[in-house]
Amino acid sequence: MGDEEQEGVFLGIDLGGTQLKAARFSADGTRVAMENAASNAGGDAEEIFGALYSAASTLIGGSRLRGIGVGVAGLLDPGSGRILNSPNIPALSGFALRSRVREAFGDTIPVQMMNDANAAALGEYFAGAGAGSSSMFLLTLGTGIGGGFVVDGNLWTGAAGVGAEVGHMCIRADGPLCHCGARGCLEACVSGWALMRDAGQIAKRHPESAIAELSPRTPLTLAELASAGDRQARALWENAGAMLGTGIANLMNLLNPDRIVLVGGLGGAGDLLFEPARRAWESQAFKEARTFTSVKPGVLGKWAGVRGAIQSFLKK
């Protein structure tokens, strides 16, 4: 505690559509305390900020705060410090996050904000499965699919800051409609919501099937059903895995990063998802590309984003 009093602490926050995760870090980037809460995503912007403020205040205690990093599910404007659009937390669209954080924690507090997938990518790159690599592409496999690309320690975000949106890379031009309005995006083929859509269609067509009777019907219970041998559930994962593998093969051929790191809840399906994925990328990626790109699971779990959100403070 003596060190924290002298050197101060950083606070990392990961504000997702379901969960708010926050952690206190010592000056050298070691995570020393965590808080987990519901993100109040159904509430208004002030209710959501209230959850953030409460978790943050608990963690800061009496320590000297040196910077706050926030990863948010959505599209941000780093210039104005506003959240432009957040599909999973609609109340935050247009919210002036940076100025609200400064109002609550102090005018002079350095505030770093970034997209949540980019934050997770920085976290895994510097303190997780990407450590020691020069280039790493992170895929978040959850309700939606996100991506973050780190090259030589820097996020590669593109001309307009919206690069690495791998969830909306087209996998099948004639594929299912995506939330973004296009067809056949990776997210429309593989994500948690895509699996639920496909399972729902099976349940409708086959009311006597095990999938129709599954309650609650979630990616996790669908994985359990598939592991128990249910043919229709296995086929769902087989299809999702093959599409994921095509996405990974595209990344290998296009970018050939040192590592592709997979994080997020769908990974809980394990080989149900990853075996068909591996078969697809092994048959679709150039041999040189797949040989020199290793595919690994993340190691920081749900704490990757909070770690990445404070990374820029540690470089100084």
Q: Which residues bind Zn ion (CB under 5 A)?
A: 168, 178, 180, 182, 185
Q: Is the peptide bond before 216 cis (omega within 30 degrees of 0)?
A: yes
Q: Which is nearer to Zn ion, 98 or 168 (CB)?
A: 168
CB of 144 to Zn ion, least distance (A): 9
CB of 189 to Zn ion, least distance (A): 10
CB of 256 to Zn ion, least distance (A): 24
Q: Which is nearer to Zn ion, 162 or 235 (CB)?
A: 162
Q: Are 89 and 46 in contact (CB under 8 A)?
A: no
Q: DSSP letters of 201-267?
A: HHHHH-TTSHHHH-SS--HHHHHHHHHTT-HHHHHHHHHHHHHHHHHHHHHHHHH--SEEEEESGGG
| Cα 55 versus chain centre, distance | 20
CB of 165 to Zn ion, least distance (A): 8
Which residues, in sequence order, are bridge partners of residue 294?
259
Closest CA to 119 of 128, 110, 132: 128
Mode of pairing for the β-strands spanning 75-77 and 19-26 = unpaired
Closest CA to 256 of 183, 151, 127, 122: 151
Tally Cβ neighbours within 10 Å of residue 62: 7
Q: Which is nearer to Zn ion, 33 or 182 (CB)?
A: 182
CB of 239 to Zn ion, least distance (A): 18
CB of 170 to Zn ion, least distance (A): 8
Q: Which is nearer to Zn ion, 15 or 190 (CB)?
A: 190
CB of 216 to Zn ion, least distance (A): 26
Q: Which is nearer to Zn ion, 112 or 246 (CB)?
A: 246
Cα 90 from Cα 72, distance rounded (Å): 12
Q: Are 91 and 43 in contact (CB under 8 A)?
A: yes
